[in-house]
Protein backbone atom coordinates (compact mmCIF):
# COMPACT_ATOMS: atom_id res chain seq x y z
CA UNK A 1 0.00 0.00 0.00
CA UNK A 2 1.60 3.24 -1.11
CA UNK A 3 0.83 6.58 0.47
CA UNK A 4 2.17 10.08 0.20
CA UNK A 5 4.07 12.31 2.55
CA UNK A 6 4.75 15.65 0.94
CA UNK A 7 6.08 14.88 -2.52
CA UNK A 8 7.45 11.40 -1.73
CA UNK A 9 5.78 8.02 -1.75
CA UNK A 10 6.13 5.52 1.08
CA UNK A 11 5.33 1.86 1.52
CA UNK A 12 3.69 0.35 4.59
CA UNK A 13 6.18 -2.34 5.76
CA UNK A 14 3.42 -3.96 7.84
CA UNK A 15 1.96 -5.32 4.62
CA UNK A 16 5.12 -7.35 3.84
CA UNK A 17 6.48 -10.52 5.39
CA UNK A 18 9.66 -8.94 6.75
CA UNK A 19 10.63 -12.20 8.47
CA UNK A 20 10.93 -13.91 5.06
CA UNK A 21 13.13 -11.05 3.87
CA UNK A 22 15.65 -11.27 6.73
CA UNK A 23 15.74 -14.99 7.54
CA UNK A 24 18.65 -17.18 6.45
CA UNK A 25 18.02 -19.26 3.33
CA UNK A 26 19.52 -22.60 4.41
CA UNK A 27 20.24 -24.29 7.76
CA UNK A 28 23.58 -23.92 9.50
CA UNK A 29 25.06 -25.63 12.55
CA UNK A 30 27.18 -24.10 15.32
CA UNK A 31 28.52 -25.48 18.57
CA UNK A 32 29.38 -29.03 19.59
CA UNK A 33 27.30 -29.63 22.70
CA UNK A 34 25.57 -32.88 23.55
CA UNK A 35 22.16 -31.17 23.58
CA UNK A 36 20.75 -29.68 20.39
CA UNK A 37 18.43 -26.71 20.04
CA UNK A 38 16.81 -25.52 16.86
CA UNK A 39 16.81 -21.75 16.35
CA UNK A 40 14.14 -20.58 13.92
CA UNK A 41 15.67 -17.49 12.32
CA UNK A 42 13.05 -14.78 12.04
CA UNK A 43 15.80 -12.15 11.93
CA UNK A 44 17.97 -13.43 14.77
CA UNK A 45 20.75 -11.32 16.17
CA UNK A 46 24.10 -13.12 15.81
CA UNK A 47 24.66 -12.96 19.55
CA UNK A 48 21.70 -15.27 20.16
CA UNK A 49 23.44 -18.07 18.24
CA UNK A 50 26.78 -17.34 19.90
CA UNK A 51 25.23 -17.27 23.37
CA UNK A 52 23.45 -20.59 22.86
CA UNK A 53 26.59 -22.26 21.47
CA UNK A 54 28.65 -20.84 24.36
CA UNK A 55 26.40 -22.77 26.75
CA UNK A 56 27.61 -26.09 25.41
CA UNK A 57 24.74 -26.51 22.96
CA UNK A 58 24.68 -27.60 19.36
CA UNK A 59 22.61 -24.94 17.57
CA UNK A 60 20.89 -25.69 14.29
CA UNK A 61 19.70 -22.39 12.83
CA UNK A 62 16.94 -22.82 10.25
CA UNK A 63 14.94 -20.49 7.99
CA UNK A 64 11.58 -19.18 9.17
CA UNK A 65 9.67 -21.63 6.94
CA UNK A 66 11.81 -24.75 7.49
CA UNK A 67 10.25 -28.11 8.45
CA UNK A 68 12.10 -28.71 11.73
CA UNK A 69 10.61 -32.18 12.04
CA UNK A 70 12.92 -33.38 9.23
CA UNK A 71 15.75 -33.09 11.76
CA UNK A 72 16.65 -36.34 13.49
CA UNK A 73 16.79 -35.21 17.10
CA UNK A 74 16.68 -31.96 19.03
CA UNK A 75 15.96 -31.06 22.63
CA UNK A 76 14.37 -27.63 22.37
CA UNK A 77 13.22 -24.87 20.07
CA UNK A 78 14.07 -21.16 20.12
CA UNK A 79 12.09 -18.71 17.99
CA UNK A 80 14.18 -15.61 17.38
CA UNK A 81 13.48 -11.94 17.40
CA UNK A 82 12.75 -10.23 14.13
CA UNK A 83 10.93 -7.43 12.35
CA UNK A 84 7.36 -6.88 11.33
CA UNK A 85 3.98 -8.37 12.07
CA UNK A 86 4.19 -11.86 13.61
CA UNK A 87 0.98 -12.86 11.81
CA UNK A 88 2.86 -12.64 8.49
CA UNK A 89 5.06 -15.61 9.55
CA UNK A 90 2.30 -18.19 9.05
CA UNK A 91 4.64 -21.12 8.38
CA UNK A 92 6.55 -20.43 11.59
CA UNK A 93 3.27 -20.26 13.54
CA UNK A 94 2.26 -23.67 12.10
CA UNK A 95 5.64 -25.15 13.03
CA UNK A 96 5.47 -23.83 16.59
CA UNK A 97 1.88 -25.07 16.96
CA UNK A 98 3.07 -28.57 15.97
CA UNK A 99 6.02 -28.32 18.40
CA UNK A 100 3.62 -27.35 21.19
CA UNK A 101 1.48 -30.41 20.49
CA UNK A 102 4.64 -32.57 20.72
CA UNK A 103 5.49 -30.93 24.09
CA UNK A 104 8.89 -29.72 22.82
CA UNK A 105 10.40 -27.07 25.15
CA UNK A 106 10.11 -23.68 23.43
CA UNK A 107 11.57 -20.22 24.06
CA UNK A 108 10.40 -17.17 22.14
CA UNK A 109 12.43 -13.96 21.98
CA UNK A 110 10.58 -10.73 21.12
CA UNK A 111 8.76 -11.48 17.86
CA UNK A 112 9.35 -15.16 18.61
CA UNK A 113 7.32 -14.84 21.81
CA UNK A 114 4.51 -13.20 19.83
CA UNK A 115 4.63 -16.11 17.35
CA UNK A 116 4.49 -18.51 20.29
CA UNK A 117 1.38 -16.71 21.59
CA UNK A 118 -0.29 -16.96 18.17
CA UNK A 119 0.58 -20.67 17.90
CA UNK A 120 -0.98 -21.25 21.32
CA UNK A 121 -4.24 -19.64 20.22
CA UNK A 122 -3.66 -16.07 21.36
CA UNK A 123 -3.92 -12.92 19.33
CA UNK A 124 -1.71 -9.91 18.68
CA UNK A 125 -2.36 -6.39 17.49
CA UNK A 126 -0.14 -3.46 16.74
CA UNK A 127 -0.38 -0.65 19.25
CA UNK A 128 -0.64 2.92 18.04
CA UNK A 129 2.49 3.83 20.00
CA UNK A 130 5.23 1.34 20.80
CA UNK A 131 8.12 1.43 23.29
CA UNK A 132 11.08 2.25 21.05
CA UNK A 133 14.70 3.19 21.40
CA UNK A 134 14.87 3.51 25.15
CA UNK A 135 17.54 1.51 26.93
CA UNK A 136 16.73 0.72 30.55
CA UNK A 137 19.28 0.15 33.31
CA UNK A 138 18.66 -3.08 35.22
CA UNK A 139 20.42 -4.11 38.42
CA UNK A 140 21.20 -7.78 38.97
CA UNK A 141 19.50 -8.51 42.28
CA UNK A 142 21.92 -9.43 45.05
CA UNK A 143 24.88 -7.75 43.36
CA UNK A 144 26.18 -4.30 42.53
CA UNK A 145 26.15 -5.12 38.81
CA UNK A 146 24.07 -2.99 36.47
CA UNK A 147 23.36 -3.65 32.79
CA UNK A 148 21.77 -1.59 30.06
CA UNK A 149 18.99 -3.52 28.33
CA UNK A 150 17.77 -2.77 24.84
CA UNK A 151 14.06 -2.02 24.66
CA UNK A 152 12.71 -2.02 21.10
CA UNK A 153 9.30 -3.53 21.62
CA UNK A 154 5.82 -2.89 20.48
CA UNK A 155 3.79 -4.88 22.93
CA UNK A 156 1.29 -6.93 20.97
CA UNK A 157 -1.56 -8.64 22.79
pLDDT in tens, 18-59: 999 999 999 999 999 999 999 999 999 999 999 999 999 999
110 a catalytic residue: yes
Alpha-carbon gap, residue 106 to 109, rounded angstroms: 10
Reported as a pLDDT band with limits 50, 70 and 90, residue 89 is: very high
Specify the pLDDT at position 157.
Answer: 44
Query: Which of these is catalytic: 42, 110, 138, 146?
Result: 110
Which residue would you say has higher pLDDT here, 147 or 66? 66
Q: Which fold has domain 2-122?
A: Rossmann fold (3.40.50)
Cα three-residue angle 77-110-74, rounded to 5 degrees: 5
Specify the pLDDT at position 149.
Answer: 76
pLDDT digits (tens, 9 = 90+) for 103-157: 999 999 989 999 999 999 999 887 666 555 567 788 889 999 998 876 655 544 4
pTM: 0.80
Helix (H) or strand (E) holding 36: strand 35-41
Report helix, strand or coil for 8: strand
Amino acid sequence: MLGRIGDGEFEDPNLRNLVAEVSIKKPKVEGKGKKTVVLIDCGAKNNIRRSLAARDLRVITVPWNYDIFKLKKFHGLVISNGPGDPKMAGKTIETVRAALSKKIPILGICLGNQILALAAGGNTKKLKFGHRGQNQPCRLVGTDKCFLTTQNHEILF
